[in-house]
Amino acid sequence: MFKSPTTHSRIAVIGTNYVGLVTAACLARLGHTVIGVDVDALKVGRLQRGQLPIFEPDLEDIVREQLAAGRLRFTLDYAEALSGAEVAFVCVGTPAGVDGEPDMRQVQSATASLAKLTPAGAYLVVVNKSTMPVGTGQWMQMTLNAHARRTGARFSVVSNPEFLREGSAVSDFLHPDRIVVGGEDSAAVEQVATLYAGLQSTPIVRTDTRTAEMIKYASNAFLATKISFINEMATICERVGADVKDVAQGMGLDQRIGPRFLSAGVGYGGSCFPKDVMALERLATGAGVEPRVLRAVMDTNQYMRQAVVDNLRTEMQWFHGLRVGILGLAFKADTDDVRESPALDIARTLLDEGAHVRAYDPAAMGNAARLLPELELCADAYAAVEDADVVLVLTEWPEFKALDYARVHNSMRQAVLVDGRNLLDSGALQALGFRYRGIGRGRGPETQAETQLVPSRALIAA
């Protein structure tokens, strides 16, 4: 639960992509007056009409609600947004560059605009919401101060990193595990912390700017590490005949470990984990530290995509002319984001080797078509699997779990199903006649005997 704060602020949000749009809408929901700024005229026009450029549960309802209430609006004009603003959130993109370093051009452009267009004599707290390399806040403060000497404006830069999961971003914003606010100006830190006063019983971590920036990278890297760890355990389980789902359950009941992010599958994707782990690896290398764990995390994640292809090759022998149905293209459920999607990598490999691939996703087909136009897209899941030799489940959409798999079985040429998210009931599918392969689910009693495990020296001695 949350309540409106007793004092409301005027806030400019720079950038209306994923982080910016969620931030703008939810700050307005908390009672603040918010103007979102973007350079894309078509996007701004659509947002003014309550039409969203992304798919995110509950977000469209909040945007339309706050537009109607007059607490939220959108503009192309920086000067309009900054007039009377007390706080400006920088929510522009920091995508990975060709060398893995974050591309900071949008941050540089936003900083220049803030410096030039903040009214003379005004005081503005600039909040970095986007994921930015350690040291960015200090650079921005110096840049803004250099401009301020000519205009008389004053700036304080604060880091307030986002911890939003695509598919549950609204809930994450309004019911956060913690809020991190870092800066050297204690008054500015408190001003930003006060913006969240309506979120009851939420811990607020106050620290310096560099530590706040590092908390974001360290958090994402640790979550990515949990995913890669359980995926490596899945690879071992596959070889020794154990079931990684039961292993993960047994691990997760330990409160020191916890169950979240212990779902084995084809690996992580999206806009955050891949680029943030890579950026932290580059940061460590530049600081003279060898990031062994981070490199292993990235290697394992990439391996899981290839492992699905290799397992399928073992099952089917060749791909040329193979008819493949893919269920799921988004990198995870409840989003239309296909950036770094394992499903697209797998589909691309199969297409390159001569397979005929058809696919369906409830939300991401438009984005997938732009990145992989040769992929045949279908109107529904049943059309994607019709006459297929093999079906790959690559995104954990709930509707895939609810399909009529007897109908799926009867519509396929060969009943091979590779469950890349361990979403389905393996026993029920095998009872229907499927040749089922999950991720780390063991290989069944008839094939476990092929793996001859060498007893430990202690057992031999006993």
Q: What share of the chain is helix, strand, coil (3-state, %, to 5)?
A: 45, 15, 40
pLDDT, residue 446, reads 43
Residue-level pLDDT, tens digit, the chain, 462 residues: 445 555 799 999 999 999 999 999 999 999 999 999 999 999 999 999 999 999 999 999 999 999 999 999 999 999 999 999 999 999 999 998 877 789 999 999 999 999 999 999 999 999 999 999 999 999 999 999 998 888 889 999 999 999 999 999 999 999 999 999 999 999 999 999 999 998 988 999 999 999 999 999 999 999 999 999 999 999 999 999 999 999 999 999 999 999 999 999 999 999 899 999 999 999 999 999 999 999 999 999 999 999 999 889 888 888 999 999 999 999 999 999 999 999 999 999 999 999 999 999 999 999 999 999 999 999 999 999 999 999 999 999 999 999 999 999 999 999 999 999 999 999 999 999 999 999 999 865 444 444 455 554 544 454
| Under 8 Å between Cβ of 182 and 211 | yes
CATH architecture of the domain 221-447 equals 3-Layer(aba) Sandwich (3.40)
| Alpha carbon distance 381, 92 (integer Å) | 35
Which CATH superfamily groups domain 10-207?
NAD(P)-binding Rossmann-like Domain (3.40.50.720)
Strand, helix or coil for residue 181:
strand
What pTM value is reported for the model? 0.91
- Residue 114 has, within 13 A of its CA and on its CB side, a CA count of 36
Q: Which residues contact 124 (CB under 8 A, 6 or more apart)?
A: 82, 85, 86, 87, 88, 114, 118, 153, 154, 155, 156
pLDDT, residue 314, reads 86
Helix intervals (H) in 49-202: 59-69, 78-82, 105-117, 136-151, 169-174, 186-194
Q: What is the strand order of the sheet 390-393 is part of?
A: 376-377, 356-360, 323-327, 390-393, 416-419, 435-437
| Alpha carbon distance 358, 360 (integer Å) | 7
Active centre residues (catalytic): 272
Query: How far apart, in Å, are the Cα atoms of 108 and each of 25, 89, 105, 217?
Result: 24, 14, 5, 20
Query: How far apart, in Å, are the Cα atoms of 77 and each of 14, 117, 140?
Result: 11, 10, 21
Q: For the chain, what are the domain ranges?
A: 10-207, 221-447
- Helix 136-151 vs helix 209-240: crossing angle, to nearest 10: 150
Q: What pairs with residue 283 in β-bridges?
A: none
